Structure 1
Amino acid sequence: MSLRFVLASASPARLKTLRGAGVEPEVIVSGVDEDHITAESPGELARLLATLKARAVVASLTEHATVLGCDSVLELDGVAYGKPGTPEIARERLRMMRGRSGVLHTGHCLIDTSAKQELRELASTTVHFADLTDDEIDAYVATGEPLVVAGSFTVDGLGGPFVTGVEGDYHNVVGISLPLLRRMLAQVGIAWPELWKTTSEYTYDETVASTYDETRGGLTRAVAAAEAVDSLLPKGGRVLELAVGTGIVGAELVALGNLVHGVDLSPAMLQHARVRLPGHVLAADAATLPIADRRCDAVVAVWLLHLLNDSEPVIAEVARVLRTDGVFVTTTEKTDASRYADGRGPNDTRSQDSLAHLAATAARHGLLLDGVTTFYGPTRNTGESPVYPLVRFRRL
């Protein structure tokens, strides 16, 4: 029987670290409310949160699995600091941290349901911070990155230049200690190489992924799509792109000043997206998003809904993760000719992206149609530039 390894965390950095080590975990987010959990020390808090996450995911499973829960906090002067959440708090914390050192604690909880074992461990790494200027802090906060990471900094992203050194496991600062995880797995009878997966196990042909952009309008169409989407987005918020694909549209949205995270089901497509959106993409199903309620300012879906047999589960998830007054921007009314080109003939479910269907479905989930635009872009290798309708729904 194949090993089912589950990561109970929505952290793109943890997923990226595991993938870099040859591991492709299944991601299931626990939904644990971190804001109301307390412990005797920052280290114990990290370990407790990791344990609660792992246990919550295990409770949701119907089959055996090996589940890893992780959580990180930064300790400074004996106080634990998690994700700041707002620019004001992030700015205050970065000013307090500059020129100083803190300890990044990451709690790890591994539960193997077959062996009926639960292991709880803590890895701690000392981090030395540069003496940032006020201008550097303001610019960093403006990127949005420090708002959503423990301690208000990253070592593997935009915050890397502001970390002058680490004492201990570098990967632990990213959010998961690979040497510690290897030892924990060994204790439940799993050798690290058992987690390695070959490219033959991927669900999407890499050949298709590698030619996807050039056969679908390339950068010209991506720029046109991103500019149209951007015109319907709120400024300065967190944008989630569903079916991010190779990240070609998402990267153009970033260039226009948006903070973009992306999800996709295809590991091969995500290999390309991780180059364009490093640290900001995640393997996930748009119908079961690993995101807590009301966390996104905007959700974007470009050329997704026409592929679905039933778009309602995706729309319901969009409504769940959007904040009040957040927006859902999606392409609509893809032509029958395009459907045939994709190898899909006419059928009763082909109109999942029709405007009438979307408006009615969205309304059932508290989303009101309140904006529309169009854009042009070449498609496939035909050189034609059809018009693409784009609509916006607002969360009531």
Structure 2
Amino acid sequence: MSIRFVLASASPARLKTLRSAGIEPEVIVSGVYEDDVTAESPGELARLLATLKARAVVANLTDHATVLGCDSVLEFDGQPYGKPETPEVARERWKMMRGRSGVLHTGHCLIDTSGKQELRELSSTKVQFADLTDDEIDAYVATGEPLVVAGAFTVDGLGGPFVTAIEGDYHNVVGLSLPLLRRMLAEVGVSWPALWKAQKPFTYDESVASTYDETRGGEPRAQGAAAAVDSLLESPGRVVELAVGTGIVGAELVALGNLVHGFDLSTAMLERAKVRLPGHVAAADAARLPVADRRCDAVVAVWLLHLLDDSEPVIAEVARVLRTGGVFVTTTEKTDASRYADTRGPNDTRSQDSLAHLTALAARHGLVLDGATTFPGPVRNTGNAPTYPVVRFRRR
């Protein structure tokens, strides 16, 4: 049975929570203006806003779907608090909250259009806040994060260190209660595992390609990746890049003196790569390259292997096209939390880019690990920069 599951919310945190639990929803923003809505209590306000969001999306659907609307409101001293919107309001809010506790209410409204069912639920979690100094409040407000989130804080972002305890569902504080959603779905006849199976395979279509570079660290991350890869190449030379994407890394490799030929399956990504690497990109499967045996000096794969269900066919193909002494340079160990293949369900086998797994596969096909380096990624909203490992295998 095909299930169309829609998230009626623009919240990145809610989308990330669902993706981490194995569900890739269709996102449709409701357009409900929250400031015009009132209710008799903060909890009822959260539930009402969630209902209005879900109904607004359903009203514009042309086919059946299961639609989830959510909204969060912080209750403090009996009053509701949403997004502060301005630094001044956020600063005063934190001076009131520090060292004290409030209740984060998240309203959930699930509408199943085929069964004509509407469920409205509320999940509430007590949140204890740290006793922040004025300097800490000023620094946090300056990041901009508390201005755009309910209650002026996050538990999964920069505000995490300022939440000392919670009593209830952690995910509810992030933006939606997964256990509650599971129960609601069951009431309308949708099992949670069915949503794992219902997700469409991820594709790098135009909607992804159009924002790919800017949402993946842009040129700074590409320059870091290219510099790391180049340091593991024998010398500037002819390079075959698998999953060349938009060509952003390949172009940086060219700037370092290499001649890059790129292959990719995505037409939308290749349209952009053609601009950066004119005449040097083509459509091809990384497991079936249009290259003769033992012709390549170097093959490069940046953020490809972690996307695969089985990396061995690609490793075998790399071994086929590399000359004796040629090298395969690839990123590795991209964690489940950060990898882009968020559409994977929880029943997947081992990560296909883990170093131990790749080393074993490579040895099976005559490739030996003989070099490694790392490069830093862009700083995230946690204040930390991830480190990406890059390794080199040599063809025996």
TM-score by length of 1: 0.55
Tell me the C-alpha RMSD between the 2 structures: 3.0
2:141 paired with 1:202: no
- Contact 2:54-2:109 within 8 A present in 1 as well: yes
The correspondence of residues 254-333 of structure 1 with structure 2, limited to 5 A, is 307=271
Q: Which amino acid aligns with 2:93?
A: R
Alpha-carbon offset, residue 22 of structure 1? 0.6
Q: Which amino acid aligns with 2:17?
A: T
2:47 paired with 1:47: yes
Q: Deviations over 1:300-355 (max 9, x none)?
A: xxxx99959xxxxxxxxxxxxxxxxxxxxxxxxx98573544449xxxxxxxxxxx
2:115 paired with 1:115: yes
Partner of 1:249: 218
Alpha-carbon offset, residue 204 of structure 1? 3.7
Structure-2 change in CA distance of 1:144 and 1:55 (3 Å)? same
Structure-2 change in CA distance of 1:100 and 1:20 (3 Å)? same
Q: Which amino acid aligns with 2:277?
A: S
SS of 2:104 mapped into structure 1? strand
Runs of 4+ in 1 over 3 A off after TM superposition: 197-200, 241-246, 304-308, 334-344
The correspondence of residues 66-81 of structure 1 with structure 2, limited to 5 A, is 66-81=66-81
Partner of 1:357: none
Unaligned runs of 5+ in 2: 222-244, 246-267, 284-328, 330-396
2:161 paired with 1:161: yes
Partner of 1:136: 136
2:307 paired with 1:338: no
Structure-2 change in CA distance of 1:43 and 1:339 (3 Å)? farther
Partner of 2:389: none
Q: Which amino acid aligns with 1:30?
A: S
- Contact 1:155-1:173 within 8 A present in 2 as well: yes
SS of 1:45 mapped into structure 2? helix
In 1, the alpha carbon distance for the partners of 2:175 and 2:139 equals 24
The correspondence of residues 190-229 of structure 1 with structure 2, limited to 5 A, is 190-197=190-197, 201-204=201-204
Structure-2 change in CA distance of 1:337 and 1:153 (3 Å)? closer
The correspondence of residues 357-376 of structure 1 with structure 2, limited to 5 A, is none
Q: Which amino acid aligns with 2:5?
A: F
- Contact 2:23-2:199 within 8 A present in 1 as well: no
TM-score by length of 2: 0.55
Partner of 1:188: 188
In 1, the alpha carbon distance for the partners of 2:181 and 2:39 equals 23
Alpha-carbon offset, residue 248 of structure 1? 1.9
Partner of 1:258: none
- Contact 1:24-1:197 within 8 A present in 2 as well: no
Alpha-carbon offset, residue 242 of structure 1? 3.4
Structure-2 change in CA distance of 1:194 and 1:41 (3 Å)? same
Partner of 1:6: 6
- Contact 1:103-1:125 within 8 A present in 2 as well: yes
Alpha-carbon offset, residue 60 of structure 1? 1.0
Structure-2 change in CA distance of 1:187 and 1:337 (3 Å)? closer
- Contact 1:125-1:173 within 8 A present in 2 as well: yes
Partner of 1:62: 62
- Contact 2:106-2:175 within 8 A present in 1 as well: yes
Number of residue equivalences: 238
Structure-2 change in CA distance of 1:251 and 1:22 (3 Å)? farther
Unaligned runs of 5+ in 1: 213-240, 253-268, 270-303, 309-333, 345-380, 382-396
Partner of 1:88: 88
In 2, the alpha carbon distance for the partners of 1:128 and 1:7 equals 29
Alpha-carbon offset, residue 202 of structure 1? 1.8
SS of 1:131 mapped into structure 2? coil
Structure-2 change in CA distance of 1:27 and 1:244 (3 Å)? farther
Higher gyration radius (CA)? 2
Structure-2 change in CA distance of 1:246 and 1:174 (3 Å)? same
SS of 1:109 mapped into structure 2? strand
SS of 1:24 mapped into structure 2? coil
Q: Which amino acid aligns with 2:167?
A: E
- Contact 2:270-2:281 within 8 A present in 1 as well: no
Structure-2 change in CA distance of 1:178 and 1:111 (3 Å)? same
Partner of 2:22: 22
In 2, the alpha carbon distance for the partners of 1:48 and 1:106 equals 10
